[in-house]
Amino acid sequence: MTYAKKYNPEVVIDVATLTGAALVALGERASAIFSDDDKLAKRFGRGGEETGDYVWRLPMWEEYENEIKGSLGDYTNIHNKDSRYGGAIYGANFLHQFIKGTKWAHIDMAPRMTAMAGENLASGALGSPVRLLYKFIEEYKN
C-alpha cells in the first residue's frame, strides 16, 4: 500500500485475510470491509447486495489505534494487550497506518475464501470478491 501511494491513486482497495477473525465475527456469508471513508464503504455495501459478494462494515474508530501501538516498532498487527478479541479490526487498523491520507478500503475476505457446505459450488476458492471489485471499477466516478 505504501508503494501504491507513490503513484498518487484516487483510491486503493486491498483484499486479504490477515487474521481469520472476520470469519469468527461474520460467519461464512459476508466479507468484512473496513474504510475511514463512509461513501466508499457504502458503495461497496450496495455493490455487494447487487453482486452477491456481500460485505459488512466493521469499525475503524481512532480509539483502536492506541491498542496497536508497538513497543519494538511504531505499530503491531495485533492487540498490544494480549487480547484475542477484535483481530480483524486490529489487522485493518494496522494496514490503515500505511495508507492514511489516501481513499482506501480493506476487504477481509476470509469468510468467503472457500465455498461452504450446501452452496452447490466446487470445493476450493470462490473468487470473492471479484464480482464486487469488477462492479466497483465499472461504476467508479470521482
Question: Which residue positions in the chain have pLDDT lower than 70?
Answer: 80, 142
pLDDT of residue 142: 53
Q: What's the pTM? A: 0.90
CA distance 44 to 128: 13
Taking CA 8 as the corner, what is the angle to CA 7 and CA 14, rounded to the nearest 5 degrees? 85
* Gap between the terminal Cα atoms of the chain: 20
pLDDT of residue 20: 87
pLDDT of residue 48: 97
CA distance 54 to 45: 7
pLDDT of residue 31: 96
**Chain centre to alpha carbon of residue 128:** 12
pLDDT of residue 68: 87
pLDDT of residue 1: 92
pLDDT of residue 58: 97
Question: What does the pLDDT look like over 9-32, one tens digit per residue?
Answer: 999 999 998 888 999 999 999 999
For the purposes of burial, counting CB atoms within 10 Å of the CB of 9, is it exposed (0-12), middle (13-18) or buried (19 or more)? Answer: middle
